[in-house]
Amino acid sequence: GAGVSQSPSNKVTEKGKDVELRCDPISGHTALYWYRQSLGQGLEFLIYFQGNSAPDKSGLPSDRFSAERTGGSVSTLTIQRTQQEDSAVYLCASSLSGGMNTEAFFGQGTRLTVV
């Protein structure tokens, strides 16, 4: 498909387990963002990748959270030793960027539930 793809769409995990969330951005998009939306909350910034630059990790809530972007394309968000407060919808977005301001396109999100 032509859009941003996220997998899995839903994930239920036990407290203390590690989870990996995947994002396939739109081909050719150099910018990739991760956000999370907790129940009734807004879009909380997590991390931003732009081309080959060092990512902006300033939004990651703790050292249990990490993200990679391999080959400038697919990204994985890893949450180690999950806690119940990690339950949220995790949204990925990508944009063409390349020095121009442009809109970002979002995936459908991954709904994470930690039980």
Question: Cβ 17 to another protein, closest distance in Å?
Answer: 25
Site for another protein in 59-88 (CB under 8 A): none
Of 7, 13, 50, 87, the residue at the interface with another protein (CB under 8 A) is 50
Residue 90 as a binder of another protein (CB under 8 A): the answer is: no
Q: Token digits for 48?
A: 């931003």
* Bond prior to 8 in cis (omega within 30° of 0): yes
Interface with another protein: number of residues (CB under 8 A): 24
Question: Cβ 87 to another protein, closest distance in Å?
Answer: 16
Q: Token digits for 114?
A: 């930690």
Burial of 49-58, coded b for 16+ CB within 10 Å and e otherwise, reads bbeeeebeee
Closest CA to 46 of 64, 30, 29, 28: 64
Give me the residues that bind another protein (CB under 8 A), please.
Answer: 4, 31, 33, 35, 41-43, 45, 48, 50, 56, 91, 93, 95, 97, 101-109
